[in-house]
């Protein structure tokens, strides 16, 4: 009597694929965590190698020591930024470059690895405020803009290599929403530049989220870089001069800067589209 062969059901066929996907997610997540830990280790080693600060600065910094996770989340709130400024201003006078590198490392860690530092809301803005306070205003605008581009490029490289399966697994809904909006609004490279630049100015999609979603959709890097440059500039201009106005001015009027920028960008986009359509019509006729 012949044995019946086991029939492979559709469910059985799906098991290996799903297992492969899970293994792929685990492997890629391991690589991302490893890169992040190596980076953090580098930051810790840099901090250990930094020249020491005076006792007065240390006392002020001890006030900021987080007692719980909530304190850690709000480590760069407006009030605490002012305490940080007062604690570190003398250190900046003695070791300006050393402090600048440290702030840069913190900025890059938050903007390039938001998968692990998502809870530090507004950390990038807080660091921008401190750089604007400690250094020349014009220099801080240029420097923070370059930092934002560098951070997005690091995120682009890391997540284009290892992040697609991880993001699809953990951030499926934001990725789908972002992709849907791109398909709806983006028809060419200039549309992509305009849309990403507008998103960088507005809080619709956080900058850190754009940094990790864009490479997972294989968006071209050059429009992303220019959109980051143009889109982050208005907020950097505002944040760079914030420290001197924390307690002396109503800052609501400063929101006109990004609003005016968005209006001009949309207008420019419409003009470019109209010119493109008219040129196409002329060629056809």
Angle at 32 between CA 205 and CA 110, to 5 degrees: 45
Read off the pLDDT of residues 10-21 as tens digits, 9 standing for 90 and up.
444 555 677 788
C-alpha distances in angstroms, 234 versus 11, 135, 141, 205, 239?
53, 18, 10, 16, 9
CA 29/CA 116 separation, integer angstroms: 11
Percent residues over pLDDT 70 in the chain: 74
Read off the pLDDT of residues 182-209 as tens digits, 9 standing for 90 and up.
888 888 888 888 888 888 877 667 888 8
CA 236/CA 220 separation, integer angstroms: 24
Q: Which of 80-84, 208-212, 217-221, 260-264 has the lowest mean pLDDT?
A: 260-264
Query: Would you place residue 254 in the very low, low, confident or very high pLDDT band (cuts 50, 70, 90)?
Result: very low
CA 105/CA 49 separation, integer angstroms: 14
Q: Who has greater pLDDT, 101 or 123?
A: 101
Residue 103's nearest CA partner among 133, 68, 62, 77 is 133
Query: Is a pLDDT exceeding 80 seen at residue 145?
Result: yes
**How high is the mean pLDDT of the chain?**
78
Domain boundary assignment for the chain: 26-284
User: SS3 letters for 39-81?
Assistant: HHHHHHHHHHHCCCCCHHHHHHHHHCCCCCHHHHHCCCCHHHH
Read off the pLDDT of residues 5-46 as tens digits, 9 standing for 90 and up.
444 444 445 556 777 888 889 999 999 999 999 999 999 999
CA 39/CA 213 separation, integer angstroms: 21
Query: Is a pLDDT exceeding 80 seen at residue 3?
Result: no
Query: What percent of the residues of the chain are helix, what percent strand, and what percent coil, each to the nearest 5?
Result: 80, 0, 20
């Amino acid at each position: 009597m012949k044995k019946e062969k086991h029939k492979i059901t559709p469910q059985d066929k799906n098991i290996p694929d799903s297992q492969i996907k899970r293994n792929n997610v685990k492997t890629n997540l391991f690589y991302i965590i490893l890169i992040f830990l190596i980076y953090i280790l580098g930051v810790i080693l840099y901090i250990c190698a930094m020249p020491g600060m005076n006792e007065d600065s240390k006392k002020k910094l001890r006030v900021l020591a987080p007692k719980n996770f909530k304190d850690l989340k709000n480590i760069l709130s407006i009030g605490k930024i002012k305490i940080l400024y007062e604690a570190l201003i003398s250190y900046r006078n003695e070791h300006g470059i050393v402090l600048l590198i440290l702030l840069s490392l913190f900025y890059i860690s938050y903007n390039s690895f938001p998968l692990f530092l998502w809870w530090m809301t507004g950390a990038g803005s807080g660091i921008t405020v401190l750089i604007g306070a400690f250094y020349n205003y014009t220099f801080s605008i240029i420097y923070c803009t370059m930092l934002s581009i560098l951070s997005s490029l690091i995120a682009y490289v890391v997540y284009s290599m290892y992040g697609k399966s991880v993001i699809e697994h953990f951030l499926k809904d934001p990725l789908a929403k972002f992709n849907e909006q791109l398909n709806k609004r983006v028809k060419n490279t200039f549309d992509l530049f305009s849309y990403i630049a507008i998103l960088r100015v507005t809080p619709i999609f956080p900058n850190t989220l754009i940094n990790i979603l864009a490479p997972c959709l294989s968006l071209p890097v050059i429009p992303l870089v220019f959109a980051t440059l143009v889109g982050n500039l208005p907020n950097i201009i505002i944040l760079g001069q914030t420290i001197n106005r924390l307690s002396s001015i109503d800052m609501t009027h400063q929101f006109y800067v990004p609003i005016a920028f968005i209006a001009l960008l949309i207008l420019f986009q419409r003009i470019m589209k109209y010119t493109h359509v008219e040129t196409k019509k002329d060629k056809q006729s």
